[in-house]
Amino acid sequence: MAGVVTAKKEHLSHDMGMHTEGLRGRTQQRFFDITETDVGYGYPDAPDVDFNKRAEIDCEGLETRQINNQLRDLIKRGVGTIVLKNPGSKHSIAVGILNRLNLYIEGSCGYFACGLLDGPNVRIKGRVGWACGENMLAGTILIEKNAGSQFGAAIRGGDLVCRGSVGARTGIDQKGGTIIVGGDTGSFSGFMMQRGRMVICGNAGKNLGDSMYDGTIYLGGEARSLGVDAIPAEMNDGDRQWLTRKLKMYDLYPKGGIGHFKKIVAGKQLWNYDNLEPGEKKLVL
Partner 1 sequence: MAGTSYKGSEIKSVDQFIKDKAGLDSAREKEIGQHIGYRYDVNLLPDYSRLTPFLKGYLEYMGWDDLNWLEDVHMGYEEGEPAIFDRNVNGWVRIPKNVKLPNNQQDRDMVARELLIKFQMSPNHPMVQLNKAYRKF
Hey, how many other C-beta atoms are within 10 angstroms of the C-beta on 48? Answer: 12
Contacting range for partner 1; rule: CB under 8 A; set: 106-114, 133-141, 185-193, 203-211: 133-141
Give the DSSP per-residue string, 149-212: SSTTTT--SSEEEESS---SSTTTT-EEEEEEESS-B-TTTTTT--EEEEEESS-B-SSBTTT-
Quick note: the x/- pattern for partner 1 over 191-230, rule CB under 8 A, is ----xxx----------------xxx--------------
- Is 70 strand, coil or helix? helix
Q: In what order do the strands lie in the sheet with 138-143?
A: 50-58, 79-85, 102-106, 118-124, 138-143, 159-162, 175-181, 195-200, 216-219, 262-266, 230-233
Q: Which stretch binds partner 1 (CB under 8 A): 180-188, 198-206, 217-225, 260-268?
A: 260-268
Min CB(27)–partner 1 separation in Å: 9
State yes or no: residue 53 binds partner 1 (CB under 8 A).
no
Question: Which range touches partner 1 (CB under 8 A), out of 105-113, 127-135, 157-165, 200-208?
Answer: 157-165
Contacts of 4 (CB under 8 A, 6+ apart): none
Neighbours of 178 (CB within 10 A): 23
Q: Exactly one of 66, 225, 241, 244 binds partner 1 (CB under 8 A); which one?
A: 241
Q: Which of 55, 116, 137, 258 binds partner 1 (CB under 8 A)?
A: 137
Please tell me whether residue 245 binds partner 1 under the rule CB under 8 A.
Answer: yes
For partner 1, give the closer residue by CB, 109 or 193. 193
What whole-number distance in Å separates Cα of residue 218 and Cα of residue 216? Answer: 7
State the residues that interact with partner 1 by CB under 8 A.
11-13, 16, 18, 28, 31-34, 36, 38-45, 51, 100, 102, 119, 121, 137-140, 156-159, 176-178, 195-197, 214-216, 238-239, 241-242, 245-246, 249, 265, 267-278, 280
